Every structure is written in C-alpha cells, then in structure tokens.
Amino acid sequence: MVKMFEFFAGIGFQRFALEKYSIDNQDNPHIDFQSIGNCEWGVYENITYGIMHENLKANNEHSEQFLDAELLKMNLSFNLKQPAKLLKNKPYEFKMYLYEALKANKTLPNINDIHPKQLDELKADLWTYSFPCTDISILNAKTNTSAGLQKENGASAIVWQFLKLLQAVKHKPRYLLMENVKALLNKHNRGDFEKIKQIINAEGYISYEILMDGLQQGAVQRRPRVFMLSIRNDLSLPFENTHNDFIEYVKQYYPDPKAAFKNRKRRLLDCVSEFCEHIDEIKKFMLSKHIKISHKMVKHCKTFLNFDENPFYIIPALNAKKDTPPQVINAPLIKVNQGQQEEMNMEGFLPYRFQTVRERFNSFGLYDYHYEKLKAHPASKYLSERILCRQVGNGILVEQLSILYKVISDIEIINPRQVTEQQWNTFDTTQIAYIVCEKYKYIKSQMQEWINEVVKKNDKSLFEKYNQLEEVFETYTQEHHPNIIKLQKFNELINEIEKYRE
C-alpha cells in the first residue's frame, strides 16, 4: 500500500487518476494506493474535493459561532490568490459544508502553516505537488516580467516552501511526483527547475523528468506537461539509472497509437450524440457574460466537432491570458446547430459556443457520472459554472497520471515491503516468488552495512535471522517449482528483519 499526500490538491485529479489506474490494472499485479490527506487552500476546491472523493455529508451539530472560529484559524482563499476575508458572511450551510469537507479530506489548508511534525506523523510514501504555473506559463510571461519562480510573492514561488518542508521532515517519502507546464523546461525557467531537482536529490533522491503530451497517453486533448518522478535512492529500480531508460520504461505503458486514435474518435462522437447537452446548459456557454465569441476567435480557434477541420479528433486546449475579461488565445469551439439557434434566439451572436462543464470534465479523462455526482450534491449550488471551469482548467489529464502510478507500482513490487494477505490470496505463486526474490536481493545488497550496525550494537539477532533467510533461499532455489509454504516462510523472515531494522 502506497500512502499518498497531495500538495496543491485542487479538486483531486490525483484521486481521479488512481481510479483509472485501479481499473486498468485490476487483472495485473499492482500495488494499491491510499490517500491520507492533502494540502489545498481553495475554499471551493475543498468543497468539490469532498463531494467527489469523500462523499461529503451534512452535519448540523456545530453552531455558527463554532464554525466561524474554526474556519478563521485556517488560511483559506476564494480566488486562489489572496486569503479569504469575507468567509464569515457566507451562509451557515456553506460554512458547514466547507468545515465538513476540510475534515473529510484530511486537509492541511495552507502550505505556509504546515509544521514538519504533521507530515512526519502521516508517514506518507508519496507526495504529489502540482504547484501553480501562473508565473512560468508562456502566455503570462510578459505580464509577469519573466521572473518565473523568482517573482517576489509570485504564486509559482510557493514551490520553495514545499522544498523547505521536504528538507525539514525526518520521514522522507519514498516518491515525489511533480506536474507542471512544459514552459518549466524553457530557457527562462530551466535554471530554477534544475535548482529544484538539485535540492530534491540532495535529500536522497534520484529524479527523472518526462514531457507527456496527452495524446500519446490516450487522452482526447494535447496538453503537454512536464512530470518529474523523484525516487528515494535506497530503492531498487526496474530500469537502468539513466534518464533515457526511465523515459523508455514509461513509454511501454503508452497505448497503441491506433487504439488511442479510435478511443478519441469514439469519445468525441459520444460527445455529439449520447452526451448532447440540454439547451439551458448550451445557453450558459453561448451567451457568455465574460467572453463573447468573435469572428477573430472563430478564425483562430478550432471547432473540434467539425471533423472536416479536425480529422484527428483532438480537442484543442483552452488558452487564455489572465485578464479582465480573459483574453482567449485558443479555445475549443462547438458549432450550434440550426434548431438550437432558433430555440435560443441567437440574433447578434455567432453560432458557436464553448464547452460546457460536463464536456470539459470528459476532455480531462473523467466521465459523465463524475459530473452527475457533483451536480446532484446539495452543496453544488455554491459552485458556479465559472468556478467549476476554473477547477477543471487547473486539472491534470488522468491518462498521464495513471501511467506514472503504474511505474511507481512496479518499483514498489521489487522493493522490500510486506506482501499483504490480499496479495498472497490474489497473486499466483510465480508472482509472489518474483516479489520475495527481489526483496532478498535488496537485503543482500544492504547486508554489509547492517552487519556493521550489529557489530556496533553487539547484537547478533539480525545476523542470525539473515542466516536463516539464506538457508531458506538456498533450499528454495534448488527446487524446480516454487513452493508456497517456503515462500511464506521466506517472506516472514524478511519482514522480521525489516521490523528489527526499524
């Protein structure tokens, strides 16, 4: 079991990806993941997260005074930019759902307020961190004076606080998983990226970055993102310790290009037919108060459901500068059919619209039931369409993340962790033999260092257990077929050694 803690959690795309990972690997040997908490200061993000992942429930046992006092202690934000100042003025029900969400999500709201001891107590195996891209994205480079991660009080600079926590904790997680825009690797930001990697590696990690574009991983949109997997350097690897070997190892889990194309085509055609939106939903994204669709926008943006213009069935990304109103650079447009035009009385408007929230959910690898679960919850009335669009726009393609979870699972399988009772019951004997033999190799490689500790402590217990381990392993390797009884004994001895070491 890999225990995961999410920094900059948003609405929990890491959790959505774990759902896909579990489904994709249900018939293959794999390690389970468990969320043990997150860090997210967004008020609305926490409510959405609670609805989607923790089955958020109402609880009216607390007084309004209690809720005001508790929420005041937490450094939360409405707009993800400044601390919330008017939270006290919100309705009782809103504050109740927010408080219950923070509890259910096990949220440590603000990264600046987290004490290293809190993280040490959690003993997470995996930290994920998708820090804000505001100051490093290409679209906002001019307004941000290209300061990038060095911008004073910039949103993206919060990554340095994350690294301070990593340096301060005693319990170092086995893995760190970063996601951000590909501009992190350009000439303006590359130096800061290398500094991030240097700080992480100094804490006992080996870090590998990879650029994933979305389409190659089976998504319906091209959303290039850089990921970095940092692996604690005491763990064995299923690939050679080089950057190219890591990339090739990850790519083995990419879907076949022909299958990926068929999947994109099917999902976009579903969007046209089965998931065709109700006219009221279309109106919201046609007669927009915030951005009016212009001739210039139609000329530069793709109407992705016009398959003469879009023969590869790709949903273009929505790119906009953060301005008032936002300046749209590119957007996925959908042409409104004649019947819908007449019903909506679209005189003065071009016959195009943006994606609805449901369609945006689908384009990030989520499904209709995710959106329906959200909209069916009574707290969803506090989540406007604009807020939901922002939340999805800050998301990560689940197809990309699920592949990286499979890589982490592979590393876990060959490293010394207890084989659970469930694994003994579900894995066949050959799979278990593979796991325990890899664990034995690790212990054998570390044994000399451990023997030195035994000598210092004048304690022979560890050495005796290791001798027993070698005897069992020797008799096991002399047999032609794996013996489950000896494998269990072998695994028990390994676990005893690990407990002794702890």
Chain-centre distance for alpha carbon 256: 23
Tell me the pTM. Answer: 0.79
229 φ/ψ angles, rounded to the nearest 5 degrees: -105, 120
Does 166 score more than 80 pLDDT? yes
Higher-confidence position of 53 and 393: 53
Averaged pLDDT of the chain: 81
Does 264 score more than 60 pLDDT? yes
Residues in contact with 360: Cβ distance below 8 Å, sequence separation at least 6, in sequence order: 389, 392, 393
Q: Where would I find the H helices in 34-169?
A: 43-54, 64-72, 92-105, 116-122, 159-168
Does 230 score more than 80 pLDDT? yes
Domains annotated on the chain, with CATH:
2-260+397-413 (3.40.50.150), 278-355 (no CATH), 421-501 (no CATH)
Q: What is the DSSP secondary-structure string of 129-155?
A: E----TTT-STTTTTTTT-GGGSTT-S
Does 252 score more than 50 pLDDT? yes
Q: Which amino acid appears at position 291 of this protein?
A: I
Average of per-residue pLDDT across 307-326 = 62
What are the b/e assignments for 193-224, b being 16+ CB within 10 Å? beebbebbeeeebbbbbbebebbbbbbbbebe
**Cα 479 to Cα 468: distance, rounded to the nearest angstrom:** 18
Q: What is the DSSP secondary-structure string of 418-437?
A: PPPHHHHHHS-HHHHHHHHH
129 pLDDT band (50/70/90 cuts)? very high
**Cα 502 to Cα 499: distance, rounded to the nearest angstrom:** 5
133, 271, 301, 389: the catalytic one is 133
Give residue 159's pLDDT.
Answer: 92
Q: Which of 359, 409, 417 is nearest to 388 (CA)?
A: 359
> Residue 256 has what DSSP assignment?
P
Chain-centre distance for alpha carbon 114: 20
Among the listed ranges 89-98, 139-148, 363-372, which one has the minimum average pLDDT value? Answer: 139-148
Residues in contact with 484: Cβ distance below 8 Å, sequence separation at least 6, in sequence order: 429, 432
**Residue with token string 């016959």:** 351
Chain-centre distance for alpha carbon 382: 25
Strand order in the sheet with 126-129: 33-39, 2-7, 126-129, 175-181, 225-232, 205-212
Give residue 434's pLDDT.
Answer: 58
| 134 HSE (CA, 13 A, CB side) | 17
Q: What is the pLDDT of residues 9-38, one digit of tens each?
A: 999 999 999 999 999 998 887 889 999 999
72 touches 86 (CB < 8 A): no
Does 121 score more than 90 pLDDT? yes
Among the listed ranges 11-25, 313-327, 476-490, which one has the minimum average pLDDT value? Answer: 476-490
**Residue with token string 């790709």:** 314
Higher-confidence position of 83 and 320: 83
Does 371 score more than 50 pLDDT? yes
Give residue 272's pLDDT.
Answer: 54
Task: Give the C-alpha distances (Å, rounded to integers) separating 398 from 102, 309, 367.
Answer: 24, 26, 11
**Cα 282 to Cα 354: distance, rounded to the nearest angstrom:** 8
Give residue 307's pLDDT.
Answer: 59
Active site residue 437: no
Average of per-residue pLDDT across 40-66 = 97
Q: Which amino acid appears at position 366 of this protein?
A: L
Average of per-residue pLDDT across 427-436 = 57
User: Percent of the chain scored above 90 by pLDDT?
Assistant: 46
Does 105 score more than 80 pLDDT? yes
Q: What is the pLDDT of residues 388-423, one digit of tens each?
A: 989 998 999 999 999 999 999 999 888 856 555 555
Q: What is the pLDDT of residues 195-218, one digit of tens each?
A: 999 999 999 999 999 999 999 999
What are the b/e assignments for 303-334, b being 16+ CB within 10 Å? bbbeeeebeebbbbbbbbeeeeeeebeebbbb
Give residue 362's pLDDT.
Answer: 86
Give residue 31's pLDDT.
Answer: 86
Average of per-residue pLDDT across 355-370 = 87
Does 311 score more than 80 pLDDT? no
Average of per-residue pLDDT across 451-465 = 67
> Residue 315 has what DSSP assignment?
B
